[in-house]
Amino acid sequence: MRRSWSRPLRTAAGAAAACVSLALLAACGGAARAPAQGTGAHPVTVTFWAWTKGSQQVADEFNATHDTIKVKFEEIPSGGLGGYPKIANAVKAGIAPDVLSIEYPELSQFVSQGSLQDLSRYMTPAVKKRFLPQTIQLTTMGGKNWAVPSDASPQIFYYRKDFFTKHHIALPKTWAQFRTAAAEVKKAAPGTRIATFFPDDPTFFQTLAWQAGASWFSTQNGAWRVDTTDPATRKVAAYWQGMIDAKLVSTAPSYSPEWTASLKAGTTVGYLGASWGAGTLAGIVPEEKGEWAAMPMPSWDAAHPSVGMSQGSTFAISKNSEKTAAAMKFILWMSTSEDAVRARVTASTSTALPADPALVPVARKAIDTSFYGGQDLYGLYEKAGATIDPDWLWGPTAAANNTLKDQLHGVVGGSTTLPRALTTTQSATVAALRKSGLKVEDAS
């Protein structure tokens, strides 16, 4: 579920040129197919690619409990570390698997390239009702459903409760309070920081902008509207530029040796992560069991909390698949079955929040939260999930992510600022979309 920035996907120029709006973009996906299902003696074999831990065990559990459909799983590199190019190349060559694991930020890219099948006929109102509404919205484009949500990933603040208690630092409910707490952390232990601003992961900043009410991509009058410099984003940029300038946060790359070493040394006492981040953090510093806790992400308005989603995964069907009905049955089982959640959690200790709220009690029971003092993490996640701002759409290319990633290195290095980085991102994104043949409105 977690990954760093995504590399550019190979673009099918003809498909991209035809997709000039979300309405037309929807027509670029492969047509859904529904071949006859197999029998017990001759089951249909569905191929499945993913990199998330526990996927093999999920496939094994499905195979052990189903006769007419069997799943052949292949683990691929994490999306940003080669997985997405591998998928894109396979689709182009006509050899992509039936089922693909694709994170929310990358989904619209694959749709715009015509790589996926329209799943609307299977996503009936009754099926969609099972999922958190915001996750359905993120998988719906041009009025069509392109994937099935796997998890939701609201932002959470994990913190060293022993440090905060020892130094009598109040837990921050707002970003103003977070800055105050950050200054107090630095004062209490000069080499220590409250959290990290990750310069290698543009979705980290994008999710913070999302929380503030930003909307970088939208469609209007048959065109993509791009605005990476809207008032909400500028507010977030000014805040974090101030935090960086005052050296109130670390700027170590995410999951780097520098970052993990600071956690182990106790010089980073907080983590602005996602629901799935609890298990990740516990795996990095198991020796700090009982010293960490989780709380809602600081908000701009304590009376009206809101969060964005940091990554999160979906399941889609490639346009190459000729086993759509069987593939969809497997996908819906993965996303709505108690057995699937148990298999995944048992194998991976994942703390992901299921997109199907009915599965939350299963995940809660399966996860050991002793690292967090037995805290009810899923109660926290459910409340946070309900505040995910629904007005966010990921763009149809990786241009914004790629440009912003390059710019963020300059921000932490002092050669540019966040406001300037966003202006550069705006120009580069508009140019990239126009080059790909999309109709674009520059809202800057």
Distance CA 29, CA 25 (A): 8
Phi, psi dihedrals of residue 308, rounded to the nearest 5°: -105, 180
**Predicted pLDDT of residue 30:** 52
Contact indicator for 363, 345 with CB cutoff of 8 Å: yes
> Quick one: 173 and 142 in the same domain?
no
Per-residue pLDDT, 415: 97
Residue 166, Cβ neighbours under 10 Å: how many? 11
Asked whether 141 and 110 are in contact (CB, 8 A), the reply is no
Query: Global pTM?
Result: 0.90
* Per-residue pLDDT at 15: 37
CATH number, domain with residue 417:
3.40.190.10
> Are both 75 and 168 inside the same structural domain?
no
Contact present, 107 and 29 (Cβ < 8 Å): no
Residues 412-421 as b or e (16 or more Cβ within 10 Å = b): beeebbbeeb
148 and 183 in a single domain? The answer is: no
Same-domain check for residues 200 and 58: no
Claim to verify: residue 360 and residue 323 sit in the same structural domain = yes
Predicted confidence pLDDT, tens digits, the chain (444 residues): 443 333 333 333 333 333 434 444 544 555 444 444 555 557 999 999 999 999 999 999 999 999 999 999 999 998 878 899 999 999 999 999 999 999 999 999 999 899 999 999 999 999 999 999 999 999 999 899 999 999 999 999 999 999 999 999 999 999 999 999 999 999 999 999 999 999 999 999 999 999 999 999 988 788 899 999 999 999 999 999 999 999 999 999 999 999 999 999 999 999 999 999 999 999 999 999 999 999 999 999 989 999 999 999 999 999 999 999 999 999 999 999 999 999 998 888 789 999 999 999 999 998 999 999 999 999 999 999 999 998 899 999 889 999 999 999 999 999 999 999 999 999 999 999 999 898 999 988
- Clarify whether residues 164 and 72 are in a common domain: no
Q: Judge if 263 and 193 occupy the same domain.
A: yes
Residues 163 and 146 both lie in one domain: no
Phi, psi angles (nearest 5°) of residue 322: -115, 20
Residue 64 to residues 267, 334, 416, Cα–Cα distance (Å):
47, 14, 55
Do 424 and 277 share a structural domain? yes
Inter-CA distances, 246 with 171, 250, 435, Å = 20, 11, 39
| Number of structural domains the chain divides into | 2
Q: Rounded to whole angstroms, how far apart are CA atoms 274 and 287?
A: 21
Domain residues for 48? 13-152+311-366
Closest C-alpha among 282, 203, 253 to residue 2: 203
